[in-house]
């Protein structure tokens, strides 16, 4: 499906209708605050300027990250931003997954010296006027401490989802030294998890044609996403708290960034893709998606991970946090050198 065709599909119109109330509320909030405006693709440069000034590194300092969860919100479907010339933060709104009657406002990756004071004050006003409480995402420890002293509490007390209290920061960001990970794979014993994976991959590659390409990315990657979630619904073995729309902006609206997007083909069929953004100043590559159709063949996720570690040239690979213990455990196999905890808070009392 091509990009423009998607916006005329029943799939999109059903999603748009689902978010109608959310859009109405946030549009009304924006109408009464001149510093809250819809995000446009042209805002990429503004965000990059703020990211470049950040002293601390995080997976969240990225256009891809801050717009990942905003799809469907605002006139350009990229969410809203608070920007007063000195402070910047992404805004989105959505019903809680397990309590759809409850709308929550999301403040995503706050930046600027006074942004936390802005969030503390403005979120309280919004809660009183619109009965909409807030989550604040991707907070450093010192930001967390400030907001805890100003009426916020941990998302663990009012979880984003019962199985993932702080969304993708339920488990910490895992950062790898690329060369050390490659040595760990090479030196792994036969009985270790990496050793078993190495043998399994050799068998898969000997029996199949596996190729990674970067052509026709949007259509091929979106087809993988749709099949992935369709299969999840059929199996029903695990609650899936993500949706296909969590991947839309990163596939269709990420071309400005210094990124690599590649699709994995198994015997000619698209079965996976990955997307990474390079941050040269930090000698880091951030992996924002590594998705594979495991039902088609075992070890596809491992194949993609090892392609990334082999082909990237950055010293560090940041694979982000995780929503569940299974994914966190999968990442740990590749021997991270840093575990960086970020926080999510709420002002719901």
Q: Compute the chain's Rg from CA coordinates.
A: 20
Q: How far apart are CA 29 and CA 106, in angstroms?
A: 13
Torsion angle in degrees (nearest 10) through CA of 140, 141, 146, 149? 140
The pLDDT-based confidence of 240 (bands split at 50, 70, 90) is: low
In this structure, how many other beta carbons lie within 10 angstroms of the beta carbon of residue 39?
27
Domains of the chain by range and CATH?
Answer: 3-172 (3.40.630), 173-340 (3.40.630.30)
Overall pTM surpassing 0.95 (yes/no): no
Question: Which pLDDT score is estimated for 273?
Answer: 96
What is the bridge-based pairing of β-strands 133-139 and 284-292?
Answer: unpaired
Which stretch of 218-227, 241-250, 293-302 has the lowest confidence by average pLDDT? Answer: 241-250
Mean pLDDT taken over the chain: 92
In this model, does residue 152 exceed pLDDT 70? Answer: yes
Question: Please, is 184 exposed, middle or buried when counting C-beta atoms within 10 Å of its C-beta (0-12, 13-18, 19+)?
Answer: middle
Continuous segment of H or E residues that includes residue 264:
strand 259-266
At 65-113, the pLDDT tens digits run 999 989 999 999 999 999 999 999 999 999 998 998 899 999 999 999 9
HSE-CB for 307 with a 13 A CA cutoff: 23
């Amino acid at each position: 499906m091509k990009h423009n065709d998607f916006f005329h599909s029943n799939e999109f119109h059903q999603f748009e209708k689902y978010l109608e109330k959310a859009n109405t509320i946030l549009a009304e909030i924006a109408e009464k605050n001149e510093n809250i405006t819809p995000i446009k693709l042209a805002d990429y440069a503004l965000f990059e300027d703020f990211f470049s000034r950040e002293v601390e590194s995080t997976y969240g300092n990225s256009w891809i990250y801050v717009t990942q969860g905003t799809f469907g919100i605002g006139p350009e479907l990229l969410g809203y931003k608070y920007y007063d010339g000195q402070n910047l933060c992404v805004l989105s709104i959505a019903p809680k997954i397990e309590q759809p009657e409850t709308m929550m406002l999301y403040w995503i990756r706050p930046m600027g010296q006074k942004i936390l004071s802005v969030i503390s004050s403005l979120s309280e006003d919004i809660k009183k006027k619109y009965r909409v409480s807030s989550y604040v995402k991707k907070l450093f420890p010192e930001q967390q401490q400030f907001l805890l002293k100003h009426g916020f509490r941990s998302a663990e007390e009012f979880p984003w989802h019962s199985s993932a209290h702080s969304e993708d920061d339920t488990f910490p960001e895992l950062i790898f030294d690329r060369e050390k990970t490659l040595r760990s794979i090479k030196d792994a014993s036969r009985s270790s998890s990496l050793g078993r994976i190495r043998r399994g991959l050799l068998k898969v590659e000997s029996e199949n044609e596996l190729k990674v390409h970067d052509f026709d990315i949007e259509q091929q990657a979106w087809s993988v996403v749709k099949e992935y979630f369709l299969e999840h619904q059929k199996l029903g073995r695990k609650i899936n708290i993500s949706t296909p729309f969590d991947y839309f902006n990163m596939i269709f609206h990420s071309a400005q960034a210094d990124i690599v997007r590649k699709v994995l083909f198994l015997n000619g069929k698209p079965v996976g893709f990955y997307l990474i953004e390079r941050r040269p100043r930090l000698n880091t590559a951030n992996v924002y998606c590594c998705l594979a159709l495991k039902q088609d063949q075992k070890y596809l996720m491992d194949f993609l991970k090892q392609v990334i570690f082999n082909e990237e040239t950055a010293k560090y690979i940041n694979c982000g946090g995780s929503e569940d213990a299974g994914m966190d455990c999968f990442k740990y196999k590749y021997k991270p050198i840093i575990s960086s905890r970020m926080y999510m808070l709420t002002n719901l009392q």
